[in-house]
Structure formats: C-alpha cells, structure tokens
Structure 1
C-alpha cells in the first residue's frame, strides 16, 4: 500500500450464520481526506465500521492501517495505533460536567484512568488540555455544565471532543448528525471540518446534504457490497445509486437528486 492511503481493506467479508452482511468490500481511504460510507438501511455500513474497529471479527479479508496488517489486533490496540471511533449514540457520562468527561478521556488515553477515582486534585494538570479541546468544539462556556443539561447537538460536540482527546490519526464518525435539526447539523458540519484538519476522517452518514458539503470521496454500499465510488457529483448522478435509494425517506431522495 502506498503512503497515499491511511486505511485499506482487501476482500473484507462478514457472515452471520450463512447471511453475508459484508461481501468482498475493498476500501482505500486517502490520507487527509474526509471519506463517506453511504447506502440505504441494511447496506452494511455500521458492520464495516465494527469490522474496522474489531468490535466484530471479519470472516475473511485483510485490514491495513498505514500499510500494516491490523486484522488480528483487538479494539484497544487499534485505538492505540490511532484509529478511533465516535459512536452513533452519544457516549458521554451524563452526570459529569463537560470538563470532567474530557478529563476521563484524557486519562484513558494516557493509561492512568484509575487516578480519577483517587483524587480530582491530581488531575488539574489536565485541565488546560481539557479547555483546549472544549474550545475546539465551541463548548468553553459549558465546561462546568453537567452533561445531562446540554442540548443534544452540544452533547454530540462533547462526544467529538472526547474522541479528539485520543489524538486519532484516523477518525471514524458513525452518523454524526443523526437526530439533529438544521441548526445543529450545520454546527456539526463545521466541527467535523475543523476536526479533519491534520487527520483523516471516515464517516457513515445518512444526510447526503452533509456528505456533499464535507466529503472528498464517497463509497456507496448496497446489500453489503460496494456499488460505486467517486466524488459526490458522479455518485449522486449514478442511476444505480438512485435505484438503491428509491423507497427511502424523502429527505434522502431529495439529497441524491
């Protein structure tokens, strides 16, 4: 694999008791790009994410990160290599403040998370970095706000900040705008664009308006296989893509059109 590609899959397959959820998926994610994985419900997008981060073991195939085979590594080892995933459902501690959530993420990354339960005072040295991360997602003024009190869009921004605390080289975003209204969607688009500076992003996203604004390259999955790949314009004009989206939500059809 060339240095051009930070992530590559070769012949990736996942079978569940005879059902093929992912079938011979070959991805090449170029370094520094925002790359989208799209497709109708049941296309296999989240399963591919689960394979890449080893929440599921592949039935067959190879996963390469920076040219090295990581297929046999476990989730934690892959994260330490720099492949970090932000989940579809907001994954933050609701009864901690925004700053405390970031601090826990930093502790986990540094391998000393046990300190959190010993003494908050020993962690003050992390506060400066916490505030930098909160500032990067526009949450400085909410540093001492309990997470449960944050609006949904701000919770997702906080989740992104906790992910960035892991200093990912490849950031995997699973439906970052799911369940959001227009204003929150625009905020997240800008956050993802900012988060992508100096790193590579692979994202699953249903909102094709978001994909058109953000992504350098798009891979379309259908029934577990790659249907087509390219820039947004060529993908959105492909009659096969229109066909697989027929019967989906109107917002998705409109975005394709």
Structure 2
C-alpha cells in the first residue's frame, strides 16, 4: 500500500459558532493526484487554508510524512515542502515572466532579502528560470511583462513559480477557474506533467478535469466528508448527485446546476 504523504485527523474549524469544516479525515497517498470537490460553501478552500496553516484548526491534527505539523506556521509548512497556489493568480504583474520565476527561486534558496547584492548575482538563476518556463510552455514569453500575458498563461506562470519551490506536496486551488476550453486542456496537461515525481492535492470545480486527472476524490458537503473514492465511484453516488443537483422533486436545479452538467458530461 502506498504510504500517506499527508493525513488530516478530525480536522475542524469553527467561526463564532459556525462550523466551516466538520471532523474531516483526509489521507493523501504518495504520488497520487487527489481532488477535493463539492458545491459552493462546502469548505474546500477552508480545508486548504487549514492544511497550509493560513488558518489554525479549532480541533484536529495534521500529519506530514507522519510528523505532526499542526502547531507550525504557514512559512514553516512551505519549507517542509507543502506549497500551494491560490484561486486568484498570484504573480507580480509588472515584472517579466522570468523575473517572477527568479523571485520564487530566490525564496527557495533563502536569498530573497539580500538587498546588498548586485543584480548581476541573480543571473546564475536564469538557466533554471528558463527550464521552468519551458516546462509550462512559456519560454518564448520569458521577457514579457506578466500583465501582458493572457489569463491562461498567467496561471501557467503561477504553476511554474510554485514548482520553483521544489514542492513534495503541491496544493492547487481551482487551477482552471475562469478558463476557456483551450486553456483548460493546456492546464490539465501541465498539472499531469507537474505531478510526475510529486503528490498533488487540488480543489477543482470542473468535474471533467477531475475525471481526467485524479486518482482519488474526496467530496465535501457542509464542511464534512460526504463520499470518497475514484471518479466513477463518487459520480455514481446518489448523495453526491443530490448535493450537486439539488433536492429531487423540488422543481429546482439548485445552485449547483452547472456542476451537475459537469457530472453528466464527464461520464
């Protein structure tokens, strides 16, 4: 059996009496691509924030390679090899693509704040920058200011900056959000490539993407685990269809009607 990279036990987050994440158990196996899905407000991003310690859990435990990392702060989590992206593209808009990668590499090697060094000292990082840009299909845009890049390419650049941190566990929050079909296909290929030799946990609303990429899926509803398994198992689960399509016989498709279309289309 593949050993777990990350494990959450009884993970709970309460906000002034409201339980956003309710006693969640999560096991992420080494080398897998694992998806966290669910309707709007299910608690997916909150779980991400707990795992990466942007939020402190009310109760529960987080283990990374068997080590209890629950007390650690987010910077310490990243240094251990747990690196995440965000729903909103997090790149520097007025720097070039290469400069964005170089900042990430400086962070990874601990030289981010060496202001007394000459800018020429950063040139040694350029070869690795170009390798990372090549890996996400952006080599020809190395000297393009990021604000001039199309949205899909900005997300690809963000993936490259994330990979510059040499993550063991890569957490991707809605990597295809707001993309057209062509960009979605490109990002699916990039995520599959990025997953080689590492473990990926992703929040993703596009169930067609999930069906193509993911080995295992955890479905959240109202902050709790509703179902878990491979895509065919969870997509056939009547409870999963219920939370995506709304109550049967209600005469309404519910707020997740578009997601239910994805359930049908991806099968």
Q: 1:255: which partner in 2?
A: 262
TM-score by length of 1: 0.97
For residues 57 and 114 of structure 2, the distance between their equivalents in structure 1, rounded to whole angstroms, comes to 36
For residues 259 and 31 of structure 2, the distance between their equivalents in structure 1, rounded to whole angstroms, comes to 27
Q: Give the number of equivalent residue pairs.
A: 256
Q: 1:240: which partner in 2?
A: 239
For residues 15 and 245 of structure 1, the distance between their equivalents in structure 2, rounded to whole angstroms, comes to 24
Q: 1:181: which partner in 2?
A: 180
Q: 2:24: which partner in 1?
A: 25
Give the Å deviation of 1:114: 2.0
2:95 is paired with a residue whose SS is: coil
Q: 1:4: which partner in 2?
A: 3
1:116–1:123 CA contact under 8 A, matched in 2: no
CA deviations on 1:153-187 (whole Å, 9 max, x unpaired) are 00000000000000000000000000000000000
2:23 is paired with a residue whose SS is: strand
1:3–1:66 CA contact under 8 A, matched in 2: no
TM-score by length of 2: 0.94
Q: 2:12: which partner in 1?
A: 13
Q: 2:194: which partner in 1?
A: 195
- Cα RMSD over matched residues? 1.2
For residues 168 and 199 of structure 1, the distance between their equivalents in structure 2, rounded to whole angstroms, comes to 7
Q: Aligned in 2, Cα 1:235/1:255: closer, same or farther, shift over 3 Å?
A: same
1:3–1:67 CA contact under 8 A, matched in 2: no
Q: 2:109: which partner in 1?
A: 110
